[in-house]
Structure 1
């Protein structure tokens, strides 16, 4: 789905990503690589294929949009180094020409040397481009004029069907003060958003993105 925000065209993809054609930038949030491996280390039976599936989805997005820059809007890595992150390092080698940017989130705890070894450019607080400023937690943003695009809370929306069934989906949120991206990882919960009349919500269903 294509929308206009701050007089710029944005493409909202059902794989929980946005693409800014003018800047050839693909943005996702809350990838949480390493989360499944971290849980397995703690003795919980979490499938080892979660990280593989998320990376495959990301590969399809890169193939579709051919971005110059991939921006991860916080929480790229869930914890410390583990097998999921080793897998990411091997996967990334096929994208030598793609610029990887990470705005550090509360779960991004690797050392500067670890990020440098993977050729990931770090932005400690935010990354601003055109009228937008990507930041992991939008309420912490204080600059004026630029429109913050955030992640962190894993936004979701509940849709009530004709038979009173309730379905909950990840969503994109665009309010007056900031926007929220859905969590990219499939291994995350959802925080329900209740929009006001002036705010826009776009549900991410298995087949498409639709405004609700």
Structure 2
């Protein structure tokens, strides 16, 4: 398993992982945003040919992280399942059965439209927002990042952030990134089948680009 990049922030020890998740040491919590399980099934149902194993790959990565870091909590920052129920849900139910003692929390996102009962039957706790330590867990970023949220420093997802790097030969690459601003941090999308967008960071931001096997500080 690839090593993460330690980042001490607000007196908390965070490990930024190249699997595009965060391990929060004080809370023994693993955080991931925008997994979008079921997106493959959604597209295949519409007749678009997508490899079936992409969903299982994301579940396998989650399993590897759980076995390595042994978190007590797994917190999804929204968009856990891409759309309505499809055959990929069965894979998720099977995966959940392998970790019956793991506390799983879902901060509901705009794509999380499956009935709450399906989640609660799997022992998954649902929230619109959740304050934990110095952090406020949301799905959507703050509408005005210059205004601090009452619940604390925001950890969120939704926009699938990336950062564009330009080389000496003017070649460019866009990397998924963790973007820490003044009042909020936006996590990269965990799911492989999600895409990414380029963002502009303010001078005060701390941006960490995600490579295949490491996370690097960019600004």
Which TM-score tier does this pair reach, normalised by the shorter chain?
Answer: over 0.9
The 5-angstrom pairing of residues 11-160 of structure 1 reads 11-123=15-127, 125-140=128-143, 143-144=149-150, 146-160=152-166
Alpha-carbon distance in structure 1 between the residues aligned to 2:160 and 2:182? 19
Residue pair 2:15, 2:22 contacting (<8 A) in 1 also: yes
The TM-score, its normalising length taken from structure 2, stands at 0.93
User: Cα deviation per residue 1:45-67 (whole Å; 9 max; x = unaligned)?
Assistant: 11111100000111111111100
Aligned to 1:190: 196
How far residue 145 of structure 1 moved from its aligned partner, in angstroms, is: 5.8
Alpha-carbon distance in structure 2 between the residues aligned to 1:140 and 1:113? 30
Alpha-carbon distance in structure 2 between the residues aligned to 1:46 and 1:30? 19
Alpha-carbon distance in structure 1 between the residues aligned to 2:134 and 2:110? 25
Alpha-carbon distance in structure 2 between the residues aligned to 1:92 and 1:207? 26
Alpha-carbon distance in structure 1 between the residues aligned to 2:26 and 2:176? 26
Alpha-carbon distance in structure 1 between the residues aligned to 2:51 and 2:201? 34
The TM-score, its normalising length taken from structure 1, stands at 0.96
Aligned to 1:173: 179
Unaligned runs of 5+ in 1: none
How far residue 120 of structure 1 moved from its aligned partner, in angstroms, is: 1.0
Residue pair 2:175, 2:210 contacting (<8 A) in 1 also: yes
Alpha-carbon distance in structure 2 between the residues aligned to 1:210 and 1:122? 32
* Distance verdict in 2 for CA 1:145–1:99, change over 3 Å: closer
How far residue 140 of structure 1 moved from its aligned partner, in angstroms, is: 5.0
* Distance verdict in 2 for CA 1:145–1:93, change over 3 Å: closer
* Distance verdict in 2 for CA 1:19–1:86, change over 3 Å: same
Aligned to 1:8: 12
Unaligned runs of 5+ in 2: none
How far residue 138 of structure 1 moved from its aligned partner, in angstroms, is: 2.3
